[in-house]
Structure 1
Amino acid sequence: MSQETELLELAVDIACEAGQLAHRRRSEGVAIAATKSALADIVTDADREVELLIRQRLSRERPDDGFLGEESGAEGGASGITWVVDPIDGTVNYAYGIPVYAVSIAAVSGQPDPEHWTALAGAVFAPALGELFTAARGEGSHLGRERLAVQEPTGGAGALLATGFGYDPATHAGDLARLARVMPLARDIRRIGSAAIDISYVAAGRLDGYFERGINPWDHAAAGLVLQEAGGRIGGPGGRAPSTTMTIAAAPELFAAIERALEADTGV
């Protein structure tokens, strides 16, 4: 068994356990623990509990690995492997009872920075939807047992695109301006509320493309590998890695078209 497969098996096992905990806590009721970057950017008690479960499992199974989590920050390791974790991606959906949220767990090698890491394995589990997206480097990506492959939009009707908007009201005008630049490519727009699910949906062909400013490494680490192993591309404009400045995810030709549309935005 390859290292990538071993890491994926562990990621899947932990993501499923963590997702079941998140789902159970949602059914019991959600308590808002704090806000983060803005009043609308919330963290629930469940976020913290789920991340703690993931961190404890990884500490037992792979004590020499590093960790980068949304809620508890970074911790170095000695093995060269770092686990990049979003315990509940789509927290606002989760808090409101919208069943579109996911546990995202990725194992990467190298520096825990998208500019430098190599993603080895990733699992995105949406417990309320009962869907598990997985990928291991060089071994393809799957939704359950179904092999995934991206497709370019066809038929001339435009692409079904997804995006999101930041929590800080000061950023909304810029986000809307970027949306206007990309709209000529679109047949319609979706705002799903979970970057990990958005990117996984591109890999599954449920969306043609996705773009958003303000995305963090733990939002895309696992789903980005799912997309790449399905033949898609994830990154930022100008050949850069995905970042808080801009993340684009699509099949290669559509990726380039979205990139060109956003080049007119001097803020990207």
Structure 2
Amino acid sequence: MDAAQLHALAVDIAREAGELAKMRRSAGVALAATKSTLADIVTEADREVEELIRKRVAAARPDDGFLGEESGADAGGTGVTWVVDPIDGTVNYAYGIPSYSVSIAAVHGSTEPGQWQALAAAVCAPALGELFSAERGGGAWQDGHALRVTSEVPAGALLSTGFGYDPATHDGDLQTVRAVMPIARDLRRGGSAALDLAYVAAGRLDGYFERGLNAWDFAAGALLVEEAGGRVSRLDTQSPRPMLIAAGIEVHDRLSAILG
């Protein structure tokens, strides 16, 4: 597989999709539906942005597979699947908070996390004017600058997390936060898993952990972290809400010891 070619395509599509998302946000957000709970919303823009990405992928690589948050999965014949979250951080998007992103990854093999090999990734935060990308074996980048995870955290780790939309899971998520706070300098809750992972890759966060993520939430961001020298693990993969941990090696191992 030509990871460089896939990377260039992912970046190109992410930029275009990000501009569409930003334009639609400026025009006003129309809520299309709720998903799993009342708090888990989908906007008309989510669907429109995903359709744009689907069409661009199909035009460039018509035999590839596609796995999107809004439109589901289509099998391909090349072994490559595009794993897409059109707007990661939809609640932020709906409220006008700029921390949302378009997340696109090209993976090879199974569409099951842990059974694929991610080849290329792009995470575009259009309202912030930033695009992060990675190519397997080629590093992780943001606007021409190579990314590296943090390696030392003498004052404690700046960590980020997220919470599920189901109120029944909130107590467990808060218990997890309490468990990790002894090693934390402070905690952030950004609202976009893909962007949190990009920030770990860029050294803006020392680590990130969250339960219950879907494949499209972390497919791109995980490759960013790995190509920036970090480590990504999924724990409790047989449970309904596996735990994802992403960080530099030291912080990753400390989080794994607490949460494993």
Q: Which residue of 2 aligns with 1:134?
A: 133
CA contact (8 A) 1:65 1:82 kept: yes
Q: Which residue of 1 aligns with 2:231?
A: 233
Mapped to 2, the partners of 1:61 and 1:141 lie a distance apart of 23
Q: 1:148 deviation in Å?
A: 0.7
Distance 1:244 1:16, change over 3 A: farther
Q: Which residue of 1 aligns with 2:250?
A: 253
Q: In the TM superposition, what whole-angstrom CA distance separates every residue of 1:50-93 from its partner, at most 9, and x where no partner exists?
A: 00000011111111000000000100000110000000000000
Q: Which residue of 1 aligns with 2:18?
A: 19
CA contact (8 A) 1:68 1:83 kept: yes
Mapped to 2, the partners of 1:261 and 1:197 lie a distance apart of 24
Q: RMSD across aligned C-alpha pairs, in angstroms?
A: 1.3
Mapped to 1, the partners of 2:48 and 2:253 lie a distance apart of 40
Mapped to 1, the partners of 2:73 and 2:22 lie a distance apart of 25
Q: 1:244 deviation in Å?
A: 3.8
State how many pairs are aligned.
259
Q: Which residue of 2 aligns with 1:197?
A: 195
Q: 1:256 deviation in Å?
A: 1.0
Amino acid at match of 1:74: A
Q: Which residue of 2 aligns with 1:159?
A: 157
Amino acid at match of 2:252: F
- Where do 4+ consecutive residues of structure 1 move more than 2 Å? 152-155
Mapped to 2, the partners of 1:102 and 1:244 lie a distance apart of 22
* TM-score, structure 1 normalization: 0.94
Q: Which residue of 2 aligns with 1:40?
A: 39
Mapped to 2, the partners of 1:195 and 1:213 lie a distance apart of 11
Amino acid at match of 1:224: A
Mapped to 1, the partners of 2:152 and 2:94 lie a distance apart of 34
Q: Unaligned 5+ residue runs, structure 2?
A: none
Match of 1:211 among 209, 212, 218: 209
Q: Which residue of 1 aligns with 2:184?
A: 186
Q: Which residue of 2 aligns with 1:70?
A: 69
Mapped to 2, the partners of 1:115 and 1:249 lie a distance apart of 14
Mapped to 2, the partners of 1:209 and 1:222 lie a distance apart of 16
Q: Unaligned 5+ residue runs, structure 1?
A: 264-268
> Secondary structure of 1:176's match?
helix
